[in-house]
Amino acid sequence: MKIVDLVDVEHNIKVGDVCETFEPNITEDCIFMFEGEPVGFFITKIEGKLKKFIEIANSEFRTDRVPKSIMARASGVEQYSTIIGSVPPKPHLRRPYPSISSVHNTKSARIFIKAMLGACREAEAMLKEILPEQYEKQVKLIEEYVPEKYRLGKCFTSSINNYNIPAPFHRDTANIKGCVNVIITKKQDATGGNLHVPDYGATMDSSDNSMLVYPAWRNVHGVTPIVPTKEGGYRNSLVFYPLASFKGKK
């Protein structure tokens, strides 16, 4: 696979800034290296079992069978998300304890959850194959930080489907440092929704069925505006991530 060296570039972007449109410049399968260490990879087209699980999850997610958090419509575009796996304690919401997402209690969402669990397994297998050292490191970090019942697969705690949700610049500071996220994109009749990392001037081409593995805790990143080109056009990102806040929790 092609190697892309991530090199620091100057920029003025800070957390909270709106992510404007950036044209993708990461458009081929590649491994990202930073200071001589592999830190992630990008696959333009997932295949096999992972693709099948993702297609099922994406299809189920867009039905009424899966509960969703509906966001305000931006420019008339529907936006919603669903979390599965573990949710951290949120004392400010008067929930000082961690839990498993209540979606797991919804019978009609069972197929969606199955497909997400299958996708998680397959994504982990790809991580193990392409970046074996990162995989081993992440499994150890998860074992150290996350009690068994809050683990999603061997490398994560949680997963979210984000439907038509761009993101201002942010850093995933709640993630376990040293771990990577997996971000798989489903996109139909829409442009944008690409991940931009200003520290390296890198914009990944989040095309349909692409997969990005990236340490989201490390740098500020944002998602470019999503523009449906037809009625019903959308971009759904299926993200698997490891949260740190379960350490020592029962």
Partner 1 sequence: MKPQLVAINKIQPNADNPRLIKNIKFKKLVKSIEDLPSMLQLRPIVVDEDMVILGGNMRYKACIEAGLKEIPIIVADELNEDEKKAFVIKDNVSYGEWDWDILGNEYDFESLDDWGMDLPSDMFREDVDYSILDDEDFEDELDSMEGDVRRALQIPFEAEHYEEAKELYKFWVDSGAYVGGMILEYLKEERKKAGL
Q: Which residues bind partner 1 (CB under 8 A)?
A: 49, 52-53, 55-56, 59, 85, 94-95, 97, 99-102, 104-105, 110-111, 113-115, 117-118, 149, 188-189, 229-234, 250
The encoded tokens of residue 139 equal 């499994």
Helix (H, G, I), strand (E, B) or coil at 32: strand
Nearest distance from C-beta of residue 232 to partner 1, angstroms: 4
Whole-angstrom distance, CA of residue 166 vs CA of residue 141 = 29
Q: Would you say how long the chain is, in residues?
A: 250
Task: CB nearer to partner 1: give 138 or 159.
Answer: 159
Nearest distance from C-beta of residue 143 to partner 1, angstroms: 17
DSSP 81-114: EEEEEEE--BGGGTB-S-EE-GGGG-GGGHHHHH
Task: CB nearer to partner 1: give 31 or 56.
Answer: 56
Whole-angstrom distance, CA of residue 16 vs CA of residue 14 = 6
Task: CB nearer to partner 1: give 5 or 20.
Answer: 20
Nearest distance from C-beta of residue 113 to partner 1, angstroms: 6
Whole-angstrom distance, CA of residue 7 vs CA of residue 205 = 18
Nearest distance from C-beta of residue 80 to partner 1, angstroms: 17
The encoded tokens of residue 41 equal 């990879």
Task: CB nearer to partner 1: give 64 or 231.
Answer: 231
Sign of CA dihedral 227, 232, 233, 234: positive
Nearest distance from C-beta of residue 91 to partner 1, angstroms: 12
Helix (H, G, I), strand (E, B) or coil at 47: coil
Task: CB nearer to partner 1: give 67 or 201.
Answer: 67
Task: CB nearer to partner 1: give 95 or 177.
Answer: 95
Choose among 195, 175, 199, 176: nearest CA to 185: 195
Nearest distance from C-beta of residue 180 to partner 1, angstroms: 22
Contact (Cβ atoms closer than 8 angstroms) between residue 206 and residue 222: no
The structure tokens 């709106």 sit at 18
